[in-house]
Amino acid sequence: MEGALCGVKVLDLTRLLPGGFCTMLLADMGAEVIKVEEPGIGDYIRTRPPLVGKNSGFHLVLNRNKRSLTLNLKTDAGKDVFRRLVWDADVVVEGFRPGVMNRLGLGYQVLKKIQPRIVYCAITGYGIGGPLELKAGHDINYLALGGVLSYSGREGLPATSGVQIADIGGGALMAAFSIVSALLARERDPHGIGQFIDISMRDGSIAFNCLRLGKYLADRKVPLPGDDQLNHGMACYNIYETRDGRYMALGALEAKFWENFCEAMARPDWKEARYFEPGDHQRELYQMISAAFKQKTQSEWIGHFAAHDCCCEPVLNLDEVMRDEQVRCRKMFVEMVHESWGAYWQLGIAPKFSRTPGTLRSHAPELGEHTEEILSVLGFSQTELQSLRAAKVI
Average pLDDT of the residues in 63-88: 97
pLDDT higher than 80, residue 344: yes
- The reply to whether 277 and 174 lie within a common domain is no
Model pLDDT, residue 253: 93
Q: How far apart are CA 73 and CA 198, in angstroms?
A: 22
Least confident of 152-161, 205-214, 341-350, 358-367: 152-161
CATH number at residue 307: 3.30.1540
Is 347 a domain residue?
yes
59 annotated active-site: no
Please count the structural domains in the chain. 2
Asked whether the beta carbons of 115 and 191 are under 8 A apart, the reply is no
Q: Where are the beta strands (DSSP E) in the chain?
A: 9-12, 32-37, 51-52, 55-56, 66-70, 91-94, 119-124, 196-200, 237-241, 247-251, 312-314, 333-338, 342-347
Share of the chain above pLDDT 90, in %: 91
Asked whether the beta carbons of 109 and 75 are under 8 A apart, the reply is no
Is 218 a domain residue?
no
Model pLDDT, residue 154: 86
- The reply to whether 201 and 136 lie within a common domain is yes
- The reply to whether 341 and 278 lie within a common domain is no
The catalytically annotated residue of 12, 28, 90, 167 is 167
pLDDT higher than 70, residue 68: yes
Binned at pLDDT 50, 70 and 90, residue 279 comes out as confident
Is 108 a domain residue?
yes
- The reply to whether 16 and 135 lie within a common domain is yes
Model pLDDT, residue 277: 82
**In this structure, which long-range contacts are made by residues 110-114, counting pairs with CB atoms below 8 Å and at least 24 apart in sequence?**
111/83, 111/86, 112/194, 112/196, 114/83, 114/86, 114/87
Is 133 a domain residue?
yes
pLDDT higher than 70, residue 1: no
Is 220 a domain residue?
no
Least confident of 73-82, 136-145, 152-161, 284-293: 152-161
pLDDT higher than 80, residue 274: no
Is 102 a domain residue?
yes
Average pLDDT of the residues in 357-386: 96
- The reply to whether 122 and 65 lie within a common domain is yes
pTM of the model: 0.95
Residue 306: domain span: 237-241+247-314
Average pLDDT of the residues in 1-18: 95
158 preceded by a cis bond (ω within 30 of 0) = no
Is 227 a domain residue?
no
CA dihedral of residues 270, 276, 277, 283 (deg, nearest 10): 50
- The reply to whether 49 and 198 lie within a common domain is yes
Burial label for 291, CB within 10 Å (0-12, 13-18, 19+), is exposed
Average pLDDT of the residues in 218-245: 94
- The reply to whether 348 and 256 lie within a common domain is no
- The reply to whether 64 and 158 lie within a common domain is yes
Average pLDDT of the residues in 70-79: 97
Binned at pLDDT 50, 70 and 90, residue 156 comes out as confident
Burial label for 238, CB within 10 Å (0-12, 13-18, 19+), is buried
12 annotated active-site: no
- The reply to whether 93 and 151 lie within a common domain is yes
Is 230 a domain residue?
no
13-33 pLDDT per residue, tens: 999 999 999 999 999 999 999
- The reply to whether 105 and 135 lie within a common domain is yes
- The reply to whether 38 and 136 lie within a common domain is yes
